[in-house]
Amino acid sequence: MRKSSKKHTRPTRKLGLPPGSLIHIGEIKTEKPSISLIEFDAHGLTETRFDSIEASRSHQPTREKLWLNVYGLHDPALMAEIGRRFKLHPLVQEDALNTQQRPKSDEYADYLFIVARCFDFVSETRSLTSDQVSIVLGRNFVLTFQERASGTFEAVRERLRAEHGAMRTHGVDYLAYALLDTLVDRYFVALDDLSDMAEDLEDAALTRPNPSLLAEINRVKHETLTLRRAVWPLREILNMLARADNGFFTADTRLYLRDIYDHTVHVLESLESVRDMLADLLDIYLSSVSNRLNTEVRILTVLTTLFMPATLIAGIFGMNFHTMPLLDDNEGFWFALAMMLGAATVMAAAFWRRNWLNTR
């Protein structure tokens, strides 16, 4: 995953504190939290934005169903106010502020709490970024808590804004399904990006292996593992929600949840294929490096062998004997060079016929 230089809050700040303590843990991705409220029913829709906690206290709902969305989770006072208004358990508020949660689902008497992760692909760095998304599904409301404004759920908002759209006539459980479906759809986008990077790395491993390529393979492999860690528990959550008759999801909506479950299974199977490709890439990289090393050693061996006859001839004529052939001959030097060149030429021709001079 791409490292960030933004401010982080470490989990060690919670050491010794009682359960339910409201402390933000994770990266601060927004300068100031913002709140948006969508109220809707079969007859219409109303949108409201709040700039502060005080502005939200005087607001009274005007429609039957509510969707409250929060960007930015580093203000415990804001979470405490929302928890008071919607009667959220302190553990739910604590988990929503902890952006390093594993995807999970907790059932309470009046609401359902779901934690999932959203992934985006950054084209400039060719890496994935991950944000936590917390969803609270009540009898007539949905709460979503996001680390930053990423536009993840904008398509769902547009469906609600459509005057003749079917989403307004459904219950809030269908809205929660639509949010989960959007998150899973983004997994497919992240999966496609990882697959493209793996294919590019495969081409590079075959043509130009180098140490930086090995580091890139390991980085993509780590990002694939991170995505798998988010999808695997979500698959179990969706399977449980699709089967449980707890009153939060109607029978019709549970059919849609089964469809999302099938999508998560597809994502996991595709991720396994990408992981296998990356594992094979390591073997391809090592084989390419080994072949290139063998080629270089072979070329050096051939060059050394070609000069061996010249070294032998020069050594023979360099012996300190008074009587040797060609020592007193005026053409002796040129004759020795001709023997050296002739031996090298013959050996080079033999190497070429045996295809030992091919560097590919």
Distance CA(314)–CA(336), nearest Å, equals 8
Instruction: Output the pLDDT for position 210.
Output: 78
Beta bridge partner(s), residue 71:
34, 146
Q: Which amino acid is at 316?
A: I
Query: Which residues does residue 113 pair with via DSSP β-bridges, in sequence order?
Result: 106, 136
- Amino acid identity for residue 184 in this structure: V
How far, in Å, CA of 233 to CA of 90, rounded? 23
φ/ψ region of 116 (left if φ > 0, alpha if ψ in -120 to 50, else beta) reads beta
CB atoms within 10 A of CB 184: 21
Domains and CATH numbers, the chain: 8-287 (3.30.460.20), 294-353 (1.20.58.340)
Cα 117 to Cα 120: distance, rounded to the nearest angstrom: 10
Q: Is 224 exposed, middle or buried (0-12, 13-18, 19+ CB in 10 A)?
A: buried
H/E run at residue 128: strand 127-138
Q: Could you list the pLDDT tens digit for every one of the 360 residues in the chain?
A: 444 445 566 666 666 677 778 888 888 888 888 999 999 998 889 999 987 777 777 788 888 899 999 999 988 999 999 999 999 999 999 999 999 999 999 999 999 999 999 998 887 888 889 999 999 999 999 999 999 998 899 999 999 998 877 888 899 999 999 999 999 999 999 999 999 888 888 888 777 777 788 888 888 889 999 999 999 999 999 999 999 888 899 999 999 999 999 999 999 999 999 888 888 887 777 777 777 777 777 777 777 777 788 887 777 777 776 677 776 777 777 877 888 788 888 878 887 777 766 655
| Contacts of range 40-45, beta carbons closer than 8 Å, 24 or more positions apart | 40/64, 40/65, 40/67, 40/160, 40/167, 40/168, 41/65, 41/168, 42/168, 42/169, 44/168, 45/160, 45/161, 45/168
Provide the token pair at 156: 């769902």
Q: How far apart (Å, rounded) are the C-alpha atoms in residues 175 and 168? A: 9
Residues in the chain: 360
d(CA 296, CA 279): 26
Is 202 in contact with 274 (CB distance < 8 Å)?
Answer: no
Strand partners, 301: none
Question: What is the dihedral sign for C-alpha 187, 188, 194, 198?
Answer: positive
SS (H, E, C) 142-169: EEEEECCCCCCCHHHHHHHHCCCCCHHH
Whole-angstrom Cα distance, residue 21 to residue 76?
A: 9
User: Would you give the distance in Å from CA 357 to the centre of its chain?
Assistant: 44
Helical packing angle, 172-207 and 211-243, nearest 10°: 160
Residues facing residue 117 across a β-bridge: 132
- Classify residue 355 as exposed, middle or buried by CB count within 10 Å of its CB (0-12, 13-18, 19+): exposed
Packing angle between helix 332-353 and helix 251-317, nearest 10 degrees?
A: 150
Beta-strand relationship, 141-146 and 127-138: antiparallel
For residue 335, what pLDDT is reported? 77
- What is the token pair recorded at 2? 């791409």
3-state DSSP call for residue 342? helix
